[in-house]
Every structure is written in structure tokens, then in C-alpha cells.
A and B are shown apart, each in its own frame.
Chain A
Amino acid sequence: MKIKILGTGCQKCVTLEYQTQTAVNQLQLDATVEKVTDMNEIMKYDILSTPALVIDEQVIFTGKVPKTEEIKEILTQYSTK
């Protein structure tokens, strides 16, 4: 599973990256977490607000930072697909 965090580096984006990484570690998923900060790259996903979470090139949510528990739920849901 390839996870991307889209964000230009504001506090929220950093938090989301940290919590996603934590979620991945706790679930012991075979996944990579990549931070995308280049605006040109980010805009390829047609999003209106950051930070955003992308799993396997699919935008999951934008403009919010869910709790680690909620991120875990989302990741579990996607890893079983």
C-alpha cells in the first residue's frame, strides 16, 4: 500500500504525517508513507484544501486531521481490499 500525505508543510500537515506513520506502525502494515510538498504534484490530485491523505493514488480525505484511531480504521478498511 502506498500512502501519500499532501501538504505544503503547515502544522496540520506535519501532524497528519506523524499520526499516519504511527497508525501504520501500530497496525504493522506493509505500507510506505510519503510526504508530498511540491505544489505542482499536489495539484495533480485536484484537491481544494490541505492536508490530504492519498492511498494508492486515491484521495481519501482533504483538509482535516483525524485522530490516529480514525486513521487506523481507514487504513484497515483499505488494506483488506
Chain B
Amino acid sequence: MIQELVHIILYNWLGMDATSKLVMAVDFFFYDTIKILILLYLVSMVMNFVNTYLPIEKIRSFLLNKNLFGFQYLLASFFGAVTPFCSCSSVPLFIGFVKGGIPLGVTFSFLITSPLVNEVAVAMFIGIFGFKVTAIYVASGILVGMFAGFVLGKLNQEKYLSDWVKDILNKSISNQRTYIAETNSIFQKISIASRESLQIIKGIFIYILIGIAIGAAIHGYIPNDFFVQYISRDNLFAIPMAVIVGIPLYSNAAGIIPIIQVLVTKGIPLGTALAFMMAVVGLSLPEAMLLKKVMQIRLLVTFFSVVGICIMILGYFFNMIL
């Protein structure tokens, strides 16, 4: 439907030549952009709506109170996925969880999946790769969070937290919070969720445009075998390279996914592309700078290494089965 609308505007109203290469690229660009904006609105709408019923405080008490039979890593990772991500909340969240008595490993599970599977990444994935690849990405993200959190938990890293965090953890501060009762009706909740979604779109709109434009440019002007030369399936170093390159390459998912998609159509294996994607979105330098406030360098390095290795394993796995 969107495709037809774009066609009508370009060809019938503006009288463009449907066979010209440039016009085809413009057509593609508009179609992708409109489709992704709509998806982004819908997905963040759903996530924000769920979030009004499942605030982070509830998640914390859920992870604390129930006997979870060893499923706490999976659950923490899952909750991390459904919670809208805001990087500036990472530190309070981390301290709040650990202070509340949630084991460090479980806290890590949440913290890893939260940026990895966020509303923007999911919407872009659906728009660009379709539902199947999106499902694979989301499931993989949750698995990576679960395993990496589990491993980090087993490594007993508590002693490598920052000193001031240890201080806070040892002090018991009386819980002085009282909420105004949230008596929003379902319509108010929808309206709040809708407002939040529009805020998100406003913040990343420009990155989406740039990403799709770069994707379109690579699509048109870089020869098909250019990347495959370097990043073929047989090259065992491709995945570690993709992950290492991906970490400092922080853009939000909005900018990077359209580019990845073009790389995949140019023959880069999906496992390698997914690993790259996860490294870009899940492990970033700004995130590291924030986390450095709560942990010593040593733990930060361990954290990034464990998550990085989990992502690599996943990349190899997908290249084998897909």
C-alpha cells in the first residue's frame, strides 16, 4: 500500500521516469523511510504501553521475590528486552538492582539485553529484514544476555565494583519513596505511550534518513563483490573483526541497520552481519563510559569481553546453520 502511494506521488503527480536508476533509488528511499517510521511508531508504542503496566520497580521486586528455579537470568534478559532503553538510566538501574539484592550476574543479563533489543532496533529489523530475521535477532539478543549474565555471575566480580558503589551497597538507606497513585485510564496510557513514541522518533529521525541514504548509496555504487572479498563465510576472522570494529562504531540502530541490510544483499553472511549489529548496538563506548562510574576497569573489560565472545559464538552458529 505504501509502495503504491509512493509510486503514485513520484510517477503520476511529479511525472518522474520510472525506469531511471536515480528515480528507482528515490522511490526505494521514500518507501523504506515511510515504512520504517510507521513501524517505529507502532513498536515503541507497544513497548511504552507494556511499560506503563510493567515499570522497572515491579520488575525488580519480581526478580527478587519469586523463587525462579534458575530462570532468573532468562527472565532478567527478557525484561531487559521489553523495557524501553534509555542509556542515562543504566547507572541508577544497575545500582538499584544490585542494592536491592539481585545477584550481579542477573543484573548484567538485564543490562546487556536492554540496549541490544530495543524498540528502535526491533522496528528497523522488521522494516528492513522482515519478521523472521527479527525473531532470530530478538531471540539471539535474549540468549546472549542470559548466557553472558550467567558467565559473569559465575566469575564473582563483586569485588571489582567501584568503591563508592560498594559503599552504597553496604549502607542501608531507608526507602523513602512514596508514589502519587497512578490512576491513568487505558486511554491516558495509550496517549502517554504515543507521546513517548513520537519523542523517540523525533530524536532519531535524522539518523534513519542518513542510514537509509548511505544504504541506498552503497546499494547503487559499490560493486557487489567488494565486501565479499574481505568478509566471506570461509574467513574465520571475519566475525571477531566484525565485533571488534562494531564496538567503537556507535551509532544508534537507526543508522546502522539499513547499511547492514545492503551488506547482506551484497553477500555478507547473515551471522556475521548479526554479530556486527549486536556489537554496534549492545556494546558501545558511551555505554562503557557510563558503566565505568560503577565498576573498575578490570570488570568493565571482563564485561565487554564476555559479551563480545558470546556474540561471536552466536555469529559462527548462525553462519553454520543458515
Whole-angstrom CA separation of A56 from B100 in the bound complex: 24
Least CB distance from A21 to B in Å reads: 19
Q: Number of contacting residues on A, CB 8 A?
A: 27
Whole-angstrom CA separation of A39 from B167 in the bound complex: 13
For B153-180 the 0/1 string (1 means CB < 8 A from A) is 0000000000010001000010111111
Chain A residue at minimal CB-CB distance from B88: A10
Stretch in B65-73, B90-98, B314-322 with 4+ CB within 8 Å of A: B90-98
Q: Is A31 close to B, CB under 8 A? A: no
A57 contacts which of B60, B99, B176 (Cβ < 8 Å)? B176
Contacts A12-B86, A40-B164, A42-B92; A48 near B56 (Cβ below 8 A):
yes
Contacts A39-B293, A43-B168, A44-B173; A50 near B89 (Cβ below 8 A):
yes
Interface of B is mostly: helix
Contacts A10-B87, A10-B88, A60-B180; A48 near B173 (Cβ below 8 A):
no
B177 near A43: Cβ-Cβ < 8 Å = no
B87 near A43: Cβ-Cβ < 8 Å = no
- Residues of chain B with a CB closer than 8 A to A30's CB: none
Least CB distance from B28 to A in Å reads: 31
List CB contacts (< 8 Å) of A43-74 with chain B: 43-50, 57-61, 63, 67, 74
Q: Is B223 close to A, CB under 8 A? A: no
Contacts A40-B164, A63-B56; A46 near B176 (Cβ below 8 A):
yes
A43 near B92: Cβ-Cβ < 8 Å = yes
Q: Is B57 close to A, CB under 8 A? A: yes
Q: Is B15 close to A, CB under 8 A? A: no
List CB contacts (< 8 Å) of B281-300 with chain A: 293
A49 near B86: Cβ-Cβ < 8 Å = yes
Contacts A40-B164, A43-B168; A58 near B95 (Cβ below 8 A):
no
Contacts A39-B293, A43-B168, A46-B175; A61 near B92 (Cβ below 8 A):
no
The listed residue with most B CB atoms (<10 A of its CB), out of A9, A47, A61, is A47
A12 near B60: Cβ-Cβ < 8 Å = no
- Residues of chain B with a CB closer than 8 A to A58's CB: 176-178
List CB contacts (< 8 Å) of A8-43 with chain B: 8-13, 39-40, 42-43
- Residues of chain B with a CB closer than 8 A to A44's CB: 173
Contacts A39-B293, A63-B56; A45 near B88 (Cβ below 8 A):
no
For B249-264 the 0/1 string (1 means CB < 8 A from A) is 0000000000000000
List CB contacts (< 8 Å) of B41-79 with chain A: 55-57, 60
- Residues of chain A with a CB closer than 8 A to B87's CB: 10
Whole-angstrom CA separation of A18 from B163 in the bound complex: 33
Chain B residue at minimal CB-CB distance from A15: B199
A47 near B96: Cβ-Cβ < 8 Å = yes
Whole-angstrom CA separation of A8 from B57 in the bound complex: 20
Q: A7-B88, A47-B92, A57-B176 are in contact. List 12 more A-B contacts (CB 8 A).
A: A8-B88, A9-B88, A11-B203, A43-B96, A45-B177, A46-B176, A47-B96, A48-B92, A49-B86, A49-B93, A50-B88, A63-B55
10 nearest CB pairs, A to B: A10-B88, A49-B89, A48-B96, A59-B177, A48-B56, A48-B93, A8-B88, A43-B95, A50-B89, A47-B92
**B residues lining the A interface (CB < 8 Å):** 55-57, 60, 86-89, 91-93, 95-97, 99, 164, 168, 173, 175-180, 195, 203, 293
What are 28 A-B residue pairs whose CB atoms fall within 8 Å in the complex?
Answer: A9-B88, A10-B86, A10-B87, A12-B88, A39-B92, A39-B293, A40-B164, A40-B168, A43-B95, A43-B96, A45-B176, A45-B177, A46-B177, A47-B92, A47-B177, A48-B57, A48-B89, A48-B92, A48-B97, A49-B86, A50-B88, A58-B178, A59-B177, A59-B179, A60-B180, A61-B179, A67-B195, A77-B180
